[in-house]
Structure 1
Amino acid sequence: MLSKRFSWFALCGLCALLAACAGTPQHAPSAKPVNTKPSAIGAAKPVVAPVASASAPAIPSNPNLKPYAEVIKDFTRLPGYLTVYKKDERYIIELKESDFAQPFFFTTQRSQGIGERGLWGSMMLESGVGSFVRYSDRIHWIERNTSFVAPNNAPLQRAVADGFSDSLRGAAAILSQPEPKTHAILVDLNALVLSDFSGTATLLQSIYRQPYQFDRNNTLIRQARAEKAETSFDIRAHYAAAALSIATPGLPIPPSVPATLPDPRSMFFGFTLSFSPLPDLMTPRAADARVGYFKTTQRNFDNDFSASNRQHLIHRWRLEKKDPAAELSIPKQPITFWLDRNIPANYREAVTHGILAWNPAFEAIGFKEAIAVKQQPDDAQWRSSERDYATVKWYLATDNAVAIGPSLVDHRSGEILDADVIITDFWTRGPRQQAVQDILPRTHAHDGEDCQYAVSAFAEMQQALDLRVARGEIAPDGPEAEAFVQDALAAVVTHEIGHALGLTHNFRASNAYTLTQLRDPAFVAKNGIATSVMDYVPYNTPAKGQRDTEYMQKRIGPYDYWAIEYGYKPLPADSETAALRDIAGRAAHNPSLAYGDDNDAGGGGLTAGIDPATGRFDLGDDPVAYFRQRLLLSHELWDALARRAPDGSISEAADTRSTVLRSLSALGSAASNAARNIGGVSVTRHTSPAQREAFSALPATTQRVTLAALSQGLFQPASFRIDPALLRRLAPNALDNNSAEQLPLAGLVLQLQTGVLDQLFSDRLSIRLLEAELSTAASTDRFRLAELHTGLRQDIWQELKSSNNIDLMRRNLQRAHLSRLSAIVLRANPGTPADARALARYEAHALQATLRAALQQGGRNIETQAHLQESLATLDEALRAPLLRTNP
């Protein structure tokens, strides 16, 4: 399918994810409601699925069809929720009268992948509410549309049925007359399910720009499993392209091919398709914008007096006390996660610890041992892809170190019915450096803004290890390093289990404490380094001379306790709405409960959110201070690497090269987060504008300090001085890398700098700085767009005030600034504010005059003189050229 109906972290990066890393598309139909009892959440009524009929009519006989017994002769019977008959690779499914009367739950998972580009095995794909509909000679498998409902209004139920469509997922011929006693019929199962129900052909075409198609002739059902609670099918699906496209000049995205296949024209995927009864309808719980849960969104047409017919139901497990009267009770059915037998034995303890880390939050609301962990036996007959087993499993891939925690949901109520956390084998690799060497180039190549927590978490872990090894604190293959990795793995699992429990990211959690507090061992021992494990929290690495505290977020935080209370605390039906409002309302007075999700954080860079307090891999409440600390850590690391004697290993040079690359990447990320202060707006989530301001521009002094910090740090060549002898030693791994080039330090630094320049020149930032004039008092000290542009020009071209030579990194930066200035003057985008264009022309004239004066001074080397002459010529041409005005 083109839309995935499961909850992600995101592909978290500790995620990946996917959250996003991650939202959940909605479905669902309506007709006759399953349950029309009033809901405890006010306007949000239970989602209902349509029912074919209360009691399906008897199935008529068709004399043109063979008798039931004759069709199944020589077939093996597999009794279960849906009984299946098997003979060789042919399968037949039995459908009774009752199977047409009730909707069912279906799920699909990718059990086998190709190990790259997100096409991994062990991936949940979707879930839905289905039903079987019979016509004269065929059966339709229908996916019911559960997104539009009117559960308590019969006329509007008819209108909903007329106004919105269900979807056809499969169709097959009826093979037999009704069985004389049970009146059951037989249906060709191969025809019903052997199709591209997952939408994989479209996905392959989108990823590779190749004409891949589903190959029905070479697709088969490998196995059927029929039990009372579930009938499932393992499908081996073939996808192929008769001929592959080649790159054509001028195409924005050239075609590519999978790198993991012996023949890129052909590939197999494994899918598990499961059918099971729908559970009794769980009482749904309304979502609140102040607490982060994945949600199902419906349009409920019952009440036309409501301002909006949209209702949002959080995703959560069914959790009920065995003894409702007890203050602390075990649940009737704990949330049980099974450890897949493919998890390496030496990592199972860390994984278990990461899962059970959530139990204290449930104890706080009256559940003892709400979450349980069990180990799948090596001889188990069931597979982790079955719906009845929530699992944590390992998987293999070549392109990403991710961990994700998706779940499958009953969209009528938001009840989570299954969850599978998967973790890459990169966490088990040794030495650790080689794992990151394998990951990072491919991750940066095409993952872009994917929400994948584990990718960055792995790199963060490795960077912290790099520095501790360089300081001589631990040995790279010693017990301390192994313990560090085990702790990091447990933290990743805790984050992903949070997603599997229904929680979304909270990217505001790492902003709660100051860097000073994070250097206080007593404070960190009590509070951790963030208020939630659902953030992307970087390692709390001390600078040289600072005290060690905890390096990572090892425990759930106050936000996590509060979020679990909102989603899972048992509440009386008649007071649930008020109680939930009171729980969520605590966020107004408790900074530890502040929340910001993926939308608030944005995609990073040009698409980052407007509030710098909500960001990925930031630490502390001052992004500028954190950027400066990252700069200190980078310098310490580079100096230590330059002094360190080679260890004689073959991989030493490549490992050191990767260490330098990681440090540059982390430094660029910190600079980008700090740059968000400029034009930054503090955002407060609330339900009533009368209570407090929703948007507040950051103080002008904060923005000025940020611009000065970027000028003194990111834009200065001294910030990236690496010992030349070290640079000459940084050879790539010749076996894994076809390039024999030296590390292009100047080019890498320019990438970091231009990333921030693009943020500062973006239309979005210009609009915010200009619009601030309307939302602040005239007497307010305001950081203006003109101040930003002038400050950038003066800082980046400061060498023009003297007769000094301009070195390579500064020349590169100046050209980057000039190209952006000229682009606005020459080719203004429709979205560029008119004032931004006017200021760009004003700054271009000012720079033009300064360049002319500088060229008259003389005394500079040839490279500098040529650079200045070319810059002036570029400006002259840009200012003389006509501007195509596309907006007033």
Structure 2
Amino acid sequence: MPKFYHAVSLALLVALTQTSCSTTKAAEQQTDTSAKAESSERAKPASRSGLKSYSEVITKDAISDEGVFTIHKVGDKYYYEIPDSLLQRDFLWISRFANLPSGLGGGYINAGSAVNEQMVEWQKFADKIVLKTKSYNAYAADSLPISLSVKANNYQPTLYAFDIVALTPNSPGYVIDVTKFFLSDVKAFSGLDADMRKEYKVSKLDDNRSFIQSAKSFPLNIEVKQDFTYDATEPPSNSATGSISIMMNQSMVLLPKVPMQPRINDYRVGYFNINQYDYGSEALKADEKSYIRRWKLVPKDIEAYKRGELVEPVNPIVYYLDPATPQKLRPYIKAGVEQWQEAFETAGFKNAIIAKDPPSPQEDPDFSPEDVRYSVIRYVASTTRNAMGPSVSDPRSGEIIESDIIWYHNHLRSYRNRYLLETGAANPSARTLDTPMEDLGEMMKEVITHEVGHALGLPHNMKASSAYPVDSLRSGAFTQKYGIAPTIMDYARYNYVAQPGDKNIRFVRQLGPYDHYVINWGYRYLPEAKTAEQEVPTLAKWIEEKANDPMYRFGSGSGGFDPESQTEGIGADVVKASTYGLKNLKQVAPKLYDWTAAQTNDYDDLQELYGELLGVWSRYIGHVVTNVGGVREERLKPNQEGYIYNPVSAKEQAASLDWLLKNAFSSPEWLNQAKISRNIHHANYVESIRNLQARHLNNLLSPDRMARLMENEVNKVNYNALDMVRQLQRGIWSEVYSGATIDIYRRNLQKAYLDRMDYLLNEKPGKSSRYGTPVDISQSDIRSIARGELVQLQRQLKSARTRHANDLTRYHIDDAIVRIDNILNPQNS
């Protein structure tokens, strides 16, 4: 029965036999000439000393499998037959888990997870064949003299050396024994990294319990499965055995001779990328080049494509469902994959991405989810609540050649819980543990679409969710058309802004305008551009045409300083959005018992959801914290007007801190639902609130935030670090000024404040660079401010202590006075 080949294989096979459209005849002739010379040099026969005849090694009992290399199994030995023509060719080697024990790596590693990805080449040296790593991080064209220095100063490791045991009879080539190699614990291909070996106390690979499971050769790849058992005194599971057994899948893929024409990355648009240093550049340095990671899509009919017609690609992107996927979920997973067809149509392609059921053994006896020829939606039996969308790409060009989407079995529970908590006030469908399958299916579809987006080359775009006016998210017409954010690649999962009574609201995220824009930017075929550089003017023009429309902005969310680029946020005004969110949460909290324990006669779900409710409350608070000392980032090039970094206005920062004092640092009595707290824990509620409030307080008083506030002085923003600390201190200690009794929540919070001031004043001098905002605490205004404000606070406390009749309040004030003495004079404490 013929083997079933994936579209990726066909794409690579075509690439192997064709030259790039940008290759000139002269370049082709030069390549052919040098290739012939190289082949002639490699074809010189090796010394026959110690070599056996081919028939002595590959006997009549050999089981042979022809492919990129022919594999022979003779008894318990495995041999590779390597054609001379494939020496010094680029291969991509991917090491994956095929099977693994429960709990390995903390639950975020699963069958199908890649543990290493590296480019290799096979070379002949004397009477040996050596396997070496190869890198394109540093390069220069072979025609340039500097290429000699690049090679000399970037010498790559030898992974293994094989004796040549025989020569091939009918064409130049070499036979090597790979048995020992695949039965050895070679670190570059192992599933157990150094941290795992240390954590599980791995001593050695047990040779007696390790073997080669299978080795198969295909036209462009080889797949080998190894069954390894290690001696380990503290394994992640089955501790009585004192061992860890894993099955590894080693994929070796032949890359095209001519790489795909890359597309130059532009940081104003979101794509994962590969970076290279070009030492042949005319710049006065090694020129760093960045190319986006994307699949190779070429129209079948280029002329029709030029006319603006939708055209199918020569090789579409194909995803197969894992055979382990439950039948009832398959339609939603397929819909999640194929939802991207809409965006690819914007780029001129139809049927560019397709989801298929796994082939039956009759259709393809060689199908394996670990096989790099197949991109698979892996369904993982794990309690982990997550999903991922990794991919494998050609390090020379950024061409994605395979990806596996990972879906963990328990992930829908997380979405069920968030759906109930964040939308339950306005969405009757969410007020149950038995969420309708239609709603769950919609959530799953959108998660799959998000993860496939990663596999298409798209990173998170956390900036996008700040594009829409907050009140537009309460409009049915708006949300049904535009969703709750312009992209599926943001962490804008649910519409927590919509209020009870709002009609026809879209509550779940969906594909948006940015997704169409970014796929067109990265995937539209530009037939007139013969080099990556020739594409740049067109690509830049597309970006600048959308520059003033917030729906097409990109921001990674890294750095933690931009309030418009945050995880889980929605809407252009974080204060307003969080106000709506808290208003909804205050309606959900009293109903939580009725929606859970009252229905199930069990407290487990109630306990789980209440813990997550506290997390949702904390998340809304955190969004507003980022406004204080916040800096909005606009990704611009010098030919565009404006500044990249723009501090949040003084008015917004002061108003945000005032909001925090009222909503984050006041006593949250509404969270103390007796039916909940007194049924799920004997004593934990007060400590949970203290922990969350202290976390946000410490975040406000972090050195990196204070560094940005100090910069406001030179940026002419009339709100600096002293203004913030003074406003915060007066709010945290408001009872000292008013004479009110200080309750338990506030006493805890005030002690947390003193601990943080102690940290700022007495931490060992050094540079704090959290979130990339470096500051030397000991040589900045931070300690001056902390000392000055603590002196003021101590004076107020001494004056106020006699005004408080409540013993516990007075004892707390006395304790605070002593604590401040110890902070200001640590040598006396």
Asked if Structure 1 and Structure 2 have the same fold, meaning a TM-score greater than 0.5 normalized by the shorter chain, the answer is: yes
Aligned ranges 1:649-664 → 2 under 5 Å: 649-650=600-601, 652-664=602-614
Comparing both chains, which one has the higher relative contact order based on Cα–Cα distances under 8 Å and sequence gaps of 6 or more?
1
Q: How far, CA to CA, are the matches of 2:641 and 2:828 in structure 1? A: 47
> Which residue of structure 1 aligns with residue 685 of structure 2?
745
Alignment of 1:383 with 2:368, yes or no, is yes
Counterparts in 2 of 1:310 and 1:303: CA distance versus 1, 3 Å: same
SS of equivalent to 1:524: helix
Match of 2:294 among 297, 316, 335: 316
Alignment of 1:710 with 2:660, yes or no, is yes
> Which residue of structure 2 aligns with residue 193 of structure 1?
182
> Which residue of structure 2 aligns with residue 298 of structure 1?
276
Match of 2:469 among 511, 514, 537: 514
Q: CA deviation at 1:222?
A: 0.2
Aligned ranges 1:142-541 → 2 under 5 Å: 142-151=132-141, 153-174=143-164, 176-194=165-183, 195-205=186-196, 208=199, 210-211=201-202, 213-215=204-206, 218-241=209-232, 243-244=233-234, 258=236, 260-263=237-240, 265-279=242-256, 280-305=258-283, 309-326=287-304, 327-379=309-361, 380-381=364-365, 382-398=367-383, 400-427=384-411, 432=413, 436=414, 459-461=417-419, 463-464=421-422, 475-477=432-434, 481-541=436-496
* Amino acid paired to 1:181: N
Assess if the C-alpha contact under 8 Å between 1:190 and 1:220 holds in 2: no
Match of 1:135 among 112, 118, 125: 125
Q: How far, CA to CA, are the matches of 2:198 and 2:590 in structure 1? A: 42
SS of equivalent to 2:298: coil
Q: CA deviation at 1:498?
A: 0.6
Match of 1:59 among 16, 38, 45: 45
* Amino acid paired to 1:876: D
> Which residue of structure 1 aligns with residue 572 of structure 2?
621
Q: CA deviation at 1:834?
A: 2.7
Assess if the C-alpha contact under 8 Å between 1:58 and 1:97 holds in 2: no
Assess if the C-alpha contact under 8 Å between 2:593 and 2:606 holds in 1: no
SS of equivalent to 1:77: strand
SS of equivalent to 1:773: coil
Q: CA deviation at 1:800?
A: 1.4
- Spell out, residue by residue over 1:426-484, the C-alpha distance to the aligned partner (whole angstroms, 9 max, x if none): 146xxx4xxx5xxxxxxxxxxxxxxxxxxxx5652353476679x6865533xx62211
Q: CA deviation at 1:590?
A: 1.8
SS of equivalent to 1:154: coil
- Spell out, residue by residue over 1:484-524, the C-alpha distance to the aligned partner (whole angstroms, 9 max, x if none): 11111001100011111111110111111122100100111
Q: How far, CA to CA, are the matches of 2:584 and 2:421 in structure 1? A: 10
Q: How far, CA to CA, are the matches of 1:412 and 1:185 in structure 2? A: 27
> Which residue of structure 1 aligns with residue 697 of structure 2?
757
Runs of 5+ consecutive residues of structure 2 not aligned to the other structure: 1-18, 25-33, 767-775
Mean alpha-carbon deviation: is it higher for 846-855 or for 267-276?
A: 267-276
> Which residue of structure 2 aligns with residue 807 of structure 1?
743
Match of 2:541 among 577, 582, 586: 582
> Which residue of structure 2 aligns with residue 4 of structure 1?
none
Match of 1:769 among 703, 709, 721: 709
Match of 1:783 among 719, 729, 734: 719
Assess if the C-alpha contact under 8 Å between 1:519 and 1:548 holds in 2: no
Alignment of 1:102 with 2:89, yes or no, is yes
Q: How far, CA to CA, are the matches of 1:297 and 1:743 in structure 2? A: 53
Q: How far, CA to CA, are the matches of 1:407 and 1:52 in structure 2? A: 36
Q: How far, CA to CA, are the matches of 2:733 and 2:635 in structure 1? A: 41
Q: How far, CA to CA, are the matches of 1:611 and 1:320 in structure 2? A: 38
Q: CA deviation at 1:796?
A: 0.8
> Which residue of structure 2 aligns with residue 612 of structure 1?
563
Q: How far, CA to CA, are the matches of 1:395 and 1:659 in structure 2? A: 24
Assess if the C-alpha contact under 8 Å between 1:231 and 1:275 holds in 2: yes
Counterparts in 2 of 1:748 and 1:38: CA distance versus 1, 3 Å: farther
> Which residue of structure 2 aligns with residue 248 of structure 1?
none
Q: How far, CA to CA, are the matches of 2:801 and 2:154 in structure 1? A: 71
Counterparts in 2 of 1:474 and 1:799: CA distance versus 1, 3 Å: closer
Q: How far, CA to CA, are the matches of 1:300 and 1:51 in structure 2? A: 27
Alignment of 1:879 with 2:824, yes or no, is yes
Match of 1:596 among 541, 555, 572: 555
Counterparts in 2 of 1:754 and 1:210: CA distance versus 1, 3 Å: farther
Counterparts in 2 of 1:94 and 1:310: CA distance versus 1, 3 Å: same
Q: CA deviation at 1:843?
A: 1.0
Taking every aligned residue pair, what percent have the same amino acid on both sides? 25
Q: How far, CA to CA, are the matches of 1:712 and 1:821 in structure 2? A: 21
Mean alpha-carbon deviation: is it higher for 81-90 or for 222-231?
A: 81-90
> Which residue of structure 1 aligns with residue 78 of structure 2?
91
Q: How far, CA to CA, are the matches of 1:50 and 1:528 in structure 2? A: 55
* Amino acid paired to 1:185: Y
Q: How far, CA to CA, are the matches of 1:417 and 1:641 in structure 2? A: 47
* Amino acid paired to 2:825: R
- Spell out, residue by residue over 1:799-832, the C-alpha distance to the aligned partner (whole angstroms, 9 max, x if none): 1124432211111101000111123233354221
Aligned ranges 1:680-699 → 2 under 5 Å: 680-688=630-638, 691-699=641-649
Assess if the C-alpha contact under 8 Å between 2:474 and 2:499 holds in 1: no
- Spell out, residue by residue over 1:543-581, the C-alpha distance to the aligned partner (whole angstroms, 9 max, x if none): 334445111112x21111111111111112155221111
Q: CA deviation at 1:271?
A: 1.7
> Which residue of structure 1 aligns with residue 7 of structure 2?
none
> Which residue of structure 2 aligns with residue 852 of structure 1?
798
> Which residue of structure 1 aligns with residue 769 of structure 2?
none
Mean alpha-carbon deviation: is it higher for 868-877 or for 182-191?
A: 182-191
Q: CA deviation at 1:585?
A: 2.0
> Which residue of structure 1 aligns with residue 28 of structure 2?
none
Q: CA deviation at 1:656?
A: 0.8
Counterparts in 2 of 1:220 and 1:706: CA distance versus 1, 3 Å: same
Assess if the C-alpha contact under 8 Å between 1:145 and 1:167 holds in 2: no
Q: CA deviation at 1:378?
A: 3.8
Q: CA deviation at 1:663?
A: 0.8
SS of equivalent to 1:141: strand
* Amino acid paired to 1:869: D
Counterparts in 2 of 1:221 and 1:701: CA distance versus 1, 3 Å: same
Assess if the C-alpha contact under 8 Å between 1:711 and 1:796 holds in 2: yes
* Amino acid paired to 2:445: A
Q: CA deviation at 1:657?
A: 1.2
SS of equivalent to 1:717: coil
Q: How far, CA to CA, are the matches of 1:858 and 1:533 in structure 2? A: 55
SS of equivalent to 1:80: coil
Q: How far, CA to CA, are the matches of 2:272 and 2:756 in structure 1? A: 40
SS of equivalent to 2:335: helix
Q: CA deviation at 1:854?
A: 1.9
Assess if the C-alpha contact under 8 Å between 1:51 and 1:102 holds in 2: no
Q: CA deviation at 1:883?
A: 11
TM-score when normalising by structure 2 = 0.88
Q: CA deviation at 1:858?
A: 3.6
